[in-house]
């Protein structure tokens, strides 16, 4: 007899993809698995992949909703390229995901859903399973619908509610496969359905039924175990990019001793930030769901004038609508944070997919000479840090700041070591105090060129702001030609001075030599993993990732010039590469670009890097 | 409590030279605003004046208060942000017919619907002045302008109708050459809690001179203007012998003493009634059949947006266990490593 222990295989890392109809509850299933794994101490990264339509026609490929989780006992930086395990609740889900399964991977399907009708709906000419080689995959045909129905037959539940819990059967199977405990998920049911005990019970029964089914059938042996990751000591929680962004903004307001105001209009994939901040009335956040994108930013500008830390959140098309108002914030020199959660464009483009194609819009998409600060987050959890930074720079430098995140960061989640509020940098708002003598709205307070923030309601500081060009110092309307040039330089210099309050860019790996891999924003996890794997394999490369885009860190040129080859990888046609070319005309850049609405894969990045390395 | 202070109209004048054309109706409106602000006895620093783009939107530069001359059409949104952020401020928005109802139409109807406590002065000259004479959303059908050389083919907006359609709670009308009436209405509007819209019939001496000439014509103005007062019968005319009665579903003009009509038959103005139907009919009275109604047409007190927001914040705060960012960071599922 074999010892049970021998059947448990220790794995470094695993990628699981849950997929089904958009109504099958795959996002919840994936989230529950992630939370349980995080509690066990695994490092992980997740990525939901869902259709733009809320309920696309049932059973079609267009309606497939997926959730990928990558967990491991070493550092995990991406949701993973290819899945070790695919859960496919219907033929469409199998069809949509076949190319994302590793050779030799396990596929769990609900065989009950593989009816002729569903196969036809999925657009398959013949039974999709027949087309797959069983030698390539470990396919488990589980009668999930039947067994779910069977296990709940004693409960007085309607057939619809019964079938709705079949995702928990699949989750139960996956829990057994990876030796996860059920307690956390059971507790989740108890909290979530507190008022409907029968639903709590039904979900618990089905979860266990799936777990025991997996234990019973031979097909799943051996099962796998992934040991906890070796990560820093501290208190952790899971967080996604949008929530981290919202929280970073609240933290900045608290630290600056300002009230937070958000004026926004719902837009995918940024809406969750507005939703979260609307919830945070407990922390005094004033949220204003405006009638359109323009009103979103304009109410924020009004709130900023009135002395709040003001924020507007959007995605690409919304940023386009806000551009005129950004010009007003620039000339009035008011603090403002504009969050752009990038998605595939142009126009409505790919609303639920990720891209980095709004960089040029953020940098230059305005009329007139209108500089502002652009920064970018690079992981779901560091959206907190960079939202905080956006707030800090906006307030301390009296300027609008565009924070770029993207659909991948916004929806992706990872465990996050909770920061200590006391250790976050101070934020000092340059508020002009009552009684200040000879107050002038556009007098520059220091080398950073900032003007004072005189807030309505303060006695003796009454002044007029506006979109017309300002006279230097006094801020009155001026059409004097030379003054316009002076003010244009002052606004440009003010933004360039921000360089003194941002850190240098750091290089991982080789500090000089053959090749520097360069990225910015949301591609960090993929680029870092590719860099790490190549380095492990003995290749000598450096890796620099940019969070501060305008202005660039002070040491940027010094770093770049130390390498023979510079390779910029980004999810657009080369916007950051072109920006670097513009700034550093003595340097040459290679570029690798992908525009599919999807993140990079590690495999393609490694191939590209090796190709450039070998090129003479 | 806001401390009461004594200020004079000149305290509200800025040091900037007023650059409107000589004879422009805006000069009179500016004087009325200065007077009204002085009459309100509020400290100067409590006033914020916001405008969009257009001739009338140059207003903020001539005010010695906090003010912002913003971008075309967006004054309603910017004012909303100021007032919601700090309800303690007294926010005035100065706009024109193009700024308010063309490019800014969306923000206008929504600020009115939300009932944010902002005093909107809508200077209606039925033309685009700053861009030199194109038709506006209130230009009369058939009006010849630079962009309608053969006459416009668009029916105009009536601001009162739009305000009432957007569930507006305060609508008044005044005319630029009656500074006293303007100041009186502006003061009432400023004291009203909620969005107040005052349409000021204003003359553009260059591009649409005498657009309101029918009303301002000295010889006939008393017969062509009906100045409303809440609780008073709607009587007008040089000899105070004309009035408005209701006839079936229609308003009708009558002469007291003719056909057995007495003063008691004349409709009494009720600005406070919630039902907007009568207010709509009064707002829409137009020449030559009717006199044009001036004064406060509708004034219905209810909660403002910012009051409800503050209440909601207090209510949520009293129930939530999350009192600081730290509490939030540690809320929900966390684990120790």
Going from N- to C-terminal start, the domains of chain B cover: 9-211
pLDDT tens-digit map of A420-469: 999 999 999 999 999 999 999 999 999 999 999 999 999 999 999 999 99
**Averaged pLDDT, B314-327:** 97
Q: Do A303 and B81 count as a contact with CB atoms less than 8 A apart? A: yes
Round to whole Å and give the CA distance between B9 and B47: 14
Cβ contacts below 8 Å, chain A against chain B, sum to: 202
| pLDDT tier, A104 (very low <50, low <70, confident <90, very high otherwise) | confident
CA distance, residue B100 to nearest chain A CA (Å): 14
Local structure of A612: helix, strand or coil: helix
Q: DSSP character for A367?
A: S
pLDDT tens-digit map of A109-159: 999 999 888 888 888 766 667 666 656 788 889 999 999 999 999 998 898
Q: Omega of the bond prior to A346 within 30 degrees of 0, cis?
A: yes
Query: Among B60, B67, B335, whose Cβ lies nearest the Cβ of A236?
Result: B335
- For tokens 């929280």, the residue is A247
pLDDT, residue A228, reads: 74
pLDDT, residue A132, reads: 65
Q: Which residues of chain A does B3 touch, with a Cβ-Cβ cutoff of 8 Å?
A: none
Q: Which residues of chain A does B66 touch, with a Cβ-Cβ cutoff of 8 Å?
A: 305, 456-457, 462-464
pLDDT, residue A133, reads: 60
pLDDT, residue A5, reads: 43
Round to whole Å and give the CA distance between A36 and A51: 26
Q: Are B164 and B300 in contact (CB under 8 A)?
A: no
* pLDDT for residue A227 is more than 70: yes
Query: Among B43, B309, B333, whose Cβ lies nearest the Cβ of A286?
Result: B309
Query: Among B71, B106, B329, whose Cβ lies nearest the Cβ of A418?
Result: B329
Query: Among A39, A295, A456, whose Cβ lies nearest the Cβ of B89?
Result: A456
Helix or strand holding residue A374 (H, E):
strand A373-376
Range with the poorest average pLDDT among A46-50, A413-417, A481-485, B263-267: A46-50
The residue count of chain B comes to 337
Q: Do B16 and A476 count as a contact with CB atoms less than 8 A apart? A: yes
| pLDDT tier, A410 (very low <50, low <70, confident <90, very high otherwise) | very high
Round to whole Å and give the CA distance between B188 and B179: 14
* pLDDT for residue A374 is more than 60: yes
| pLDDT tier, A229 (very low <50, low <70, confident <90, very high otherwise) | confident
Q: Do B70 and A234 count as a contact with CB atoms less than 8 A apart? A: no
- Provide CB contacts within 8 A for A233, sequence distance 6+: B337
pLDDT, residue B77, reads: 98
Interface predicted TM-score of the whole assembly (ipTM), two decimals: 0.97
| pLDDT tier, A1 (very low <50, low <70, confident <90, very high otherwise) | very low
CA distance, residue B124 to nearest chain A CA (Å): 22
* pLDDT for residue A481 is more than 50: yes
Q: Which residues of chain A does B320 touch, with a Cβ-Cβ cutoff of 8 Å?
A: 282
Q: Which residues of chain B does A306 touch, with a Cβ-Cβ cutoff of 8 Å?
A: 48, 81-82, 85-86, 89
pLDDT tens-digit map of A488-510: 999 999 999 999 999 999 999 99
Q: Are B226 and B240 in contact (CB under 8 A)?
A: no
Q: Domains in chain A, please, with CATH? A: 4-226 (3.40.920.10), 237-423 (3.40.50.970), 507-614 (3.40.50.920)
pLDDT, residue A588, reads: 98
Q: Are B197 and B46 in contact (CB under 8 A)?
A: no
Round to whole Å and give the CA distance between A294 and A324: 9
CA distance, residue B315 to nearest chain A CA (Å): 9
Q: What are the CA-CA distances from residue B41 to residues A118, A295, B8 (Å)?
A: 75, 32, 9
Q: What is the CATH number of domain B9-211?
A: 3.40.50.970
Which is more confidently placed, A260 or A225? Answer: A260
pLDDT tens-digit map of A37-67: 988 888 999 988 877 766 678 888 888 989 9
CA distance, residue B252 to nearest chain A CA (Å): 39
Mean of the per-residue pLDDT values of chain A: 93
pLDDT tens-digit map of A332-351: 999 999 999 999 999 999 99
**Averaged pLDDT, B176-181:** 96
Q: Which residues of chain A does B308 touch, with a Cβ-Cβ cutoff of 8 Å?
A: none
Q: Tokens for B13?
A: 């004048």
Task: Tell me the pTM.
Answer: 0.91
Round to whole Å and give the CA distance between B49 and B70: 10
| Residue in B56, B67, B77 to test binding to A, most A beta-carbons within 10 Å | B77
Query: Pairing between strand A260-264 and A309-314?
Result: parallel
Q: How many CA atoms lie within 13 A of B228 on its CB side?
A: 27
Chain B: residue whose CA lies nearest to A325: B71
Chain A: residue whose CA lies nearest to B318: A282
Q: What are the CA-CA distances from residue B301 to residues A144, A399, B193, B276, B296 (Å)?
A: 60, 39, 7, 13, 13
Q: What are the CA-CA distances from residue A272 to residues A382, A410, B258, B316 (Å)?
A: 17, 9, 68, 20
Q: Are A237 and B332 in contact (CB under 8 A)?
A: yes
**Averaged pLDDT, B251-270:** 96
Chain A: residue whose CA lies nearest to B316: A282
Range with the poorest average pLDDT among A90-99, A514-523, B176-185: A90-99
Q: Do B81 and A284 count as a contact with CB atoms less than 8 A apart? A: no
pLDDT, residue A470, reads: 96
Angle at CA of residue B101, ends A302 and B194, nearest 5°: 55
Q: Do B309 and A468 count as a contact with CB atoms less than 8 A apart? A: no
Range with the poorest average pLDDT among B166-170, B210-214, B271-275: B210-214
Round to whole Å and give the CA distance between A213 and A142: 9
| Residue in A75, A183, A291 to test binding to B, most B beta-carbons within 10 Å | A291
pLDDT, residue A517, reads: 98
Q: Which residues of chain A does B95 touch, with a Cβ-Cβ cutoff of 8 Å?
A: none
Q: Tokens for A489?
A: 């330089």
Range with the poorest average pLDDT among A236-240, B149-153, B309-313: A236-240
Residue A504 phi, psi (nearest 5): -65, 155
* pLDDT for residue A538 is more than 90: yes
Q: Are A403 and A338 in contact (CB under 8 A)?
A: yes
Round to whole Å and give the CA distance between B316 and A58: 39
Chain B: residue whose CA lies nearest to A464: B67
Round to whole Å and give the CA distance between A91 and A16: 18
pLDDT tens-digit map of B234-247: 999 999 999 999 99
CA distance, residue B138 to nearest chain A CA (Å): 23
Q: Do B70 and A421 count as a contact with CB atoms less than 8 A apart? A: no
* pLDDT for residue A486 is more than 80: yes
Q: Do A298 and B107 count as a contact with CB atoms less than 8 A apart? A: yes
pLDDT, residue A6, reads: 43
CA distance, residue A375 to nearest chain B CA (Å): 23
| Residue in A38, A308, A370, A456 to test binding to B, most B beta-carbons within 10 Å | A456
Q: State the SS3 of B244-282.
A: EEEECCEEEEEECCCCCCCHHHCCECCCCCCCCHHHHHH
Residue A522 phi, psi (nearest 5): -65, 0
Local structure of A351: helix, strand or coil: coil
The packing angle between helices A293-305 and B105-114, to 10°, is: 60
- For tokens 């944070």, the residue is A337
**Averaged pLDDT, A529-549:** 96
Q: Are A291 and B112 in contact (CB under 8 A)?
A: no
| pLDDT tier, B335 (very low <50, low <70, confident <90, very high otherwise) | confident
Q: Which residues of chain B does A302 touch, with a Cβ-Cβ cutoff of 8 Å?
A: 50, 68, 77-85
Q: Do A238 and B107 count as a contact with CB atoms less than 8 A apart? A: no
* pLDDT for residue B203 is more than 60: yes
Query: Among B66, B81, B110, whose Cβ lies nearest the Cβ of A462?
Result: B66
Range with the poorest average pLDDT among A126-140, A321-335, A352-366: A126-140
Q: DSSP character for A582?
A: H
* pLDDT for residue A4 is more than 50: no
Round to whole Å and give the CA distance between B10 and B8: 5
* pLDDT for residue A3 is more than 60: no
- Residues paired with residue A550 on neighbouring β-strands, in sequence order: A374
């Amino acid at each position: 007899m074999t010892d049970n222990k021998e059947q448990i295989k220790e794995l470094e890392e695993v990628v699981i993809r849950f997929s089904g109809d958009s109504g099958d509850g795959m996002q919840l299933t994936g989230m529950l698995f992630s939370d349980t794994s995080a509690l066990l101490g695994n490092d992980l990264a997740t990525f939901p992949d869902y259709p733009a339509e809320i309920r696309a026609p049932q059973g079609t490929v267009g309606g497939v909703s997926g959730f990928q989780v990558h967990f491991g006992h070493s550092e995990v930086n991406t949701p993973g390229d290819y899945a070790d395990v695919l859960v496919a609740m219907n033929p469409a889900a199998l069809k949509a995901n076949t190319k994302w399964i590793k050779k030799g991977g396990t596929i769990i399907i609900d065989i009950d859903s593989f009816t002729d009708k569903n196969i036809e709906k999925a657009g398959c000419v013949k039974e999709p399973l027949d087309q797959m080689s069983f030698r390539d995959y470990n396919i488990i045909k589980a009668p999930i619908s039947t067994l779910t129905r069977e296990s709940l037959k004693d409960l007085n539940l309607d057939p619809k509610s019964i079938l709705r819990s079949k995702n928990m059967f699949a989750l139960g199977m996956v829990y057994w496969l990876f030796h996860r405990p059920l307690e956390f998920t059971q507790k989740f049911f108890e909290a979530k359905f507190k008022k409907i005990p029968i639903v709590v019970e039904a979900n618990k029964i089905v979860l266990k039924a799936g777990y025991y089914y997996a234990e019973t059938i031979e097909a799943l042996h051996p099962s796998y175990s992934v040991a906890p990751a070796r990560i820093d000591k501290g208190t952790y929680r899971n967080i996604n990019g949008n929530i981290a962004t919202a929280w970073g903004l609240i933290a900045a307001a608290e630290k600056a001793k300002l009230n937070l105001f958000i004026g926004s209009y719902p837009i995918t994939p940024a809406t969750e930030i507005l939703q979260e901040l609307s919830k945070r009335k407990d922390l005094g956040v004033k949220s204003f769901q405006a009638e359109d994108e323009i009103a979103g930013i304009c109410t924020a500008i009004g709130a900023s004038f009135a002395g709040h830390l003001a924020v507007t959140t959007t995605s690409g098309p919304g940023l386009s609508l806000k551009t005129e108002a950004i010009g007003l914030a620039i000339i009035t020199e008011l603090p403002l944070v504009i969050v752009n959660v990038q998605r595939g464009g142009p126009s409505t483009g790919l609303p639920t997919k990720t891209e980095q194609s709004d960089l040029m819009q953020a940098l230059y998409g305005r009329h007139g000479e209108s500089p502002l600060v652009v920064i970018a987050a690079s992981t779901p959890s560091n959206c907190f840090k960079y939202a905080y930074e956006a707030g800090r720079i906006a307030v301390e430098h009296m300027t609008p700041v565009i924070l770029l995140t993207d659909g991948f960061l916004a929806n992706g989640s990872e465990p996050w070591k909770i920061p200590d509020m006391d250790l976050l940098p101070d934020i000092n708002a340059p508020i002009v105090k009552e009684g200040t003598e000879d107050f002038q709205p556009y007098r520059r307070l220091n080398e950073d060129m900032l003007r004072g923030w005189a807030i309505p309601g303060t006695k003796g500081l009454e002044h007029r702001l506006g979109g017309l060009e300002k006279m230097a110092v006094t801020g009155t309307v001026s059409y004097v030609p030379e003054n316009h040039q002076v003010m244009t330089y002052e606004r440009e210099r003010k933004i360039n001075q921000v360089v003194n309050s941002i850190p240098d860019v750091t290089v991982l790996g080789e500090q000089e030599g053959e090749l520097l891999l360069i990225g910015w924003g949301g591609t960090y996890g993929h680029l870092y993993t590719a860099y790490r794997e190549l380095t492990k394999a003995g290749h000598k490369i450096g890796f620099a990732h940019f969070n501060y885009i305008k202005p660039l860190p002070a040491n940027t040129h010094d770093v770049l010039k130390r390498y023979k080859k510079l390779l910029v990888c980004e999810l657009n046609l080369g916007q950051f590469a072109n920006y670097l070319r513009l700034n550093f005309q003595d340097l040459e850049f290679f570029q690798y670009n992908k525009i599919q609405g999807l993140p990079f894969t590690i495999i393609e990045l490694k191939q590209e890097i090796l190709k450039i390395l070998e090129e003479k | 409590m806001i401390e009461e202070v004594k200020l004079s109209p000149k305290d509200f004048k800025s040091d900037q030279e007023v650059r409107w054309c000589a004879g422009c109706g805006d000069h009179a409106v500016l004087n009325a605003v200065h007077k009204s602000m002085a009459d309100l006895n509020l400290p100067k620093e409590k006033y914020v004046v916001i405008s969009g783009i257009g001739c009338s939107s140059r207003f903020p530069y001539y005010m010695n208060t906090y003010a912002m001359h913003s971008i075309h059409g967006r004054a309603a949104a910017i004012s909303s942000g100021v007032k919601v952020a700090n309800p303690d401020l007294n926010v005035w928005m100065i706009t024109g017919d193009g700024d308010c109802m063309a490019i800014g139409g969306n923000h206008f109807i929504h600020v009115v619907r939300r009932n944010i406590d902002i005093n909107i002065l809508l200077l209606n000259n039925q033309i685009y002045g700053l861009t030199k004479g194109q038709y506006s959303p209130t230009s009369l059908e058939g009006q010849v302008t630079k962009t309608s050389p053969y006459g416009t083919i668009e029916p105009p907006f009536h601001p009162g109708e739009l305000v009432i359609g957007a569930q507006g709670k305060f609508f008044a009308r005044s005319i630029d050459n009656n500074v006293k009436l303007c100041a009186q209405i502006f003061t009432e509007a400023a004291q009203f809690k909620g969005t107040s819209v005052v349409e000021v019939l204003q003359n553009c001496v260059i591009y649409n001179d005498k657009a309101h000439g029918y009303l301002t014509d000295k010889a006939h103005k008393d017969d062509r203007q009906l100045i409303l007062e809440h609780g008073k019968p709607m009587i007008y005319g040089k000899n105070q012998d004309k009035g408005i009665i209701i006839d079936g579903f229609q308003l009708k003009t009558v002469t007291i003493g003719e056909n057995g009509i007495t003063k008691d038959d004349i409709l009494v103005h009720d600005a406070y009634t919630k039902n907007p139907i009568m207010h709509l009919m009064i707002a829409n009275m137009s020449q030559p059949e009717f006199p044009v109604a001036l004064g406060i047409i509708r004034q219905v007190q209810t909660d403002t947006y910012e009051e409800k927001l503050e209440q909601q914040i207090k209510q949520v705060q009293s129930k939530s266990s999350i009192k600081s960012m730290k509490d939030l960071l540690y809320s929900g599922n966390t684990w120790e490593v």
